[in-house]
Amino acid sequence: MTSIKVPPLGESIVEATVSRWLKNEGDAVASGDTLVELETDKITVEVPSVTSGVLTKRFAKEGDVVKLDQLLAEVDESQKADTKANKAPDKPADTKAEKGAPPRAESREPKAEGREPRADVRASPAAQRTAAETGADLSKVQGTGRGGVVSKADVIESAGAGGERSGAREKTPDPGSTNPRPSSGERETREKMTTRRKRIAENLLQSHVSTARLTTFNEIDMTNVEAIRGRVKEQIEKKHGVRLSFMPFFVKATIAALKDFPVVNAQIDGDSIVHHLYVNLGIAVASDAGLVVPNIKDADRMGMLDIARSIVDVAKKARDGKLTMNDLTGGTFTITNGGVFGSLVSTPILNYPQVGILGLHKIQDRPIALNGQVVIRPMMYVALSYDHRIIDGQQAVLFLVRIKELMEDPALMAID
């Protein structure tokens, strides 16, 4: 009998939440097969079997909090079973869903009222798991994510609206769910916080009480950047396979401003100020598991296209639950973009122990005074939250002004 225990989870991480069992008791497993997924405050850890045999006992349920080196399961290598007969726990035998690919076959369920099936479906991993658990047909679910990606909430909402099997409403909420749907007659629901959500809450509270946070604002006329992007985006995508968004422009402008005002890229350690001579730029990403901030290492050494590729890569890894500890540690400054959700202005909270964070917002046509005339321009409010313990107000304001100058005259970034 071989014991399967909670493996090392990363520096200073001592507990995790059992997110999902991939094998049932009695299932045959091969050495290297993933038995269970554990969710820490930062990443999802896959726990494999170290031997071939039969999973005879599971010692933790989905949603349980487990400690480092705690017993998770036992595998009897003396027993043999037909691996072809294996099935995922309590889920339909949909091999595409088990492998993380969205189902594309036509549904056997009744067609949702007023909604036609779609042939090409893109869905998040959480949405795929929820669809597999409930029997929902992803081709009939309207995606509300960026680019039409189907989220877990979309699947749940579709089921509640009668678009899928009625049994979907009776499922117990996923321990990581942030929007459980109450069954008929219920007015409240209760769910246990995941390890990741608890740690996010702790970090935000620590940032709030441990820093002297202030926020300064400015606005940027996006006309010139929009014109440049409009001219080259199709050519760049065709030639380099990179979709050029506005974020790489802001990254380049931010890096230039950090060089001019290096204290914004620093960190407090006791009674010392640590000056970073590099920029590991954090990009805040909203995922099904909560907000995460992977960072692009040595972003100050990258060109615009490499930055664009890196942003896409870390965002995809975040949404797919594939981030590593290296992706999430070592950041020196962070950019968060609430504009993609429609936010017009906000005061971002510091990603402690960093001392600065840049908040981007929605681009909106507004009347401004230009050369004595009122004109309509695409404007964006930007915000810099900073730790006043080491960053003076003048430095913070000038840092933001420098970003404004570079974004309104992008040729200056090329010269730099």
Active-site residue set: 388, 392
What are 260's two structure tokens? Answer: 């001019």
Lookup result for tokens 């313990």? 389
Q: What are the CA-CA distances from residue 76 to residues 70, 81, 214, 379 (Å)?
A: 18, 11, 59, 64
What are 219's two structure tokens? Answer: 């606005």
Contacts of residue 43, defined as CB under 8 A and 6 or more positions apart, other chains included, come to 10, 321, 323, 324, 325, 328
Q: What are the CA-CA distances from residue 138 to residues 89, 174, 180, 258 (Å)?
A: 20, 18, 19, 44
CA angle 263, 296, 99 (to 5 degrees): 150
Q: Give the separation between CA 300 and CA 279, rounded to whole angstroms.
A: 6
What are 165's two structure tokens? Answer: 């099997």
Specify the DSSP element, H or E, that contains 257: helix 247-260
Q: Give the separation between CA 331 and CA 352, rounded to whole angstroms.
A: 10
Q: Give the separation between CA 159 and CA 156, rounded to whole angstroms.
A: 5
Cβ(3)–Cβ(77) below 8 Å = no
What amino acid occupies position 317?
K
Specify the DSSP element, H or E, that contains 46: strand 44-48
What are 138's two structure tokens? Answer: 């992803």
Cβ(126)–Cβ(288) below 8 Å = yes
Q: What SS3 class is residue 269?
A: strand
Q: What SS3 class is residue 29?
A: strand
Q: Give the separation between CA 339 and CA 85, rounded to whole angstroms.
A: 48
Q: Give me the count of residues in the chain.
A: 416
Q: Give the separation between CA 98 and CA 90, rounded to whole angstroms.
A: 12
Q: Quick one: CA dihedral 117, 123, 125, 126, positive or negative? A: negative
**Cis omega before residue 117 (within 30°)?**
no
Q: Quick one: CA dihedral 141, 194, 318, 302, positive or negative? A: positive
Q: Quick one: CA dihedral 184, 189, 194, 199, positive or negative? A: positive
